[in-house]
């Protein structure tokens, strides 16, 4: 597990360097690219940072062309943040080989082996959730 964590961190550092973003920026972009547009307040809550800090993160990301801010469709007092298509394409280009590798590994397993791995991973996630009070899983 420690080696998986180290490699995940290395991959995230590599991706952040390729996109020229900091850790908070990478987390915000990950959320936007994975789940779609969000308000700055939603992003701040998800990342566990203040709205003021989120504003600084979004300013840097917007200046670099990684996202855009648009008026909220039903509440003009709010903004909705969306990942840029170009950044999404670039990030996907870096993440796609990893996804293909994991999918290939999963495809190589027998159904009974997959069930064991799934049960182990569900238990691992539960252990992390239990050890991290107050954090809601994404």
Q: Within 10 A of 21 (CB to CB), how many other CB atoms are there?
A: 21
**Domain assignment of residue 119, yes or no:** no
pTM for the full predicted model: 0.80
Residue 89: inside a domain:
yes
Domain assignment of residue 117, yes or no: no
Considering the chain, what is the average pLDDT of its residues?
A: 92
Domain holding 54: CATH number?
A: 1.10.10.10
Task: Please give the full DSSP string across 77-121, using - where no structure is assigned.
Answer: TSEEEEE-HHHHHHHHHHHHHHHHHHHHHHHTS-HHHHHHHHHHH
pLDDT at position 9 is 93
136 found inside a domain: no
Predicted local distance difference test score (pLDDT) of residue 133: 80
Residue 49 in domain: yes
Cα gap 32→119, rounded to integer Å: 29
Confidence of residue 1 (pLDDT cuts 50, 70, 90): confident
Q: Which domain holds residue 61?
A: 2-107
Per-residue pLDDT band at 98 (split at 50, 70, 90): very high
Residue 138 has pLDDT above 90, yes or no: no
Going by pLDDT thresholds of 50, 70 and 90, the confidence category of residue 63 is: very high
| Residue 33: DSSP 8-state | H
> Does residue 118 fall inside a structural domain?
no
Q: Is the pLDDT of residue 56 over 80?
A: yes
Q: How far is CA 117 from CA 3, 17, 124, in A?
A: 17, 32, 10
What is the total count of domains within the chain?
A: 1
Q: Partners of 81 in the beta sheet?
A: 38, 69
Query: Is the predicted pLDDT of residue 95 greater than 80, yes or no?
Result: yes
Residue 136 scores a pLDDT above 70:
no
């Amino acid at each position: 597990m420690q080696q998986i964590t180290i490699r995940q961190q290395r991959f995230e550092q590599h991706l952040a360097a390729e996109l020229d973003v900091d850790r908070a920026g990478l987390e915000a972009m990950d959320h936007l690219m994975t789940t779609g547009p969000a308000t700055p307040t939603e992003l701040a809550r998800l990342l566990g940072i203040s709205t003021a800090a989120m504003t600084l993160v979004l300013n840097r990301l917007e200046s670099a062309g990684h996202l855009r801010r648009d008026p909220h469709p039903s509440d003009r007092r709010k903004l909705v943040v969306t990942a840029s298509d170009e950044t999404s394409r670039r990030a996907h280009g870096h993440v796609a080989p990893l996804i293909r590798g994991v999918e290939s590994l999963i495809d190589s397993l027998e159904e009974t082996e997959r069930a064991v791995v799934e049960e182990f991973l569900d238990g691992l996630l539960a252990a992390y959730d239990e050890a991290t009070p107050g954090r809601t899983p994404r």
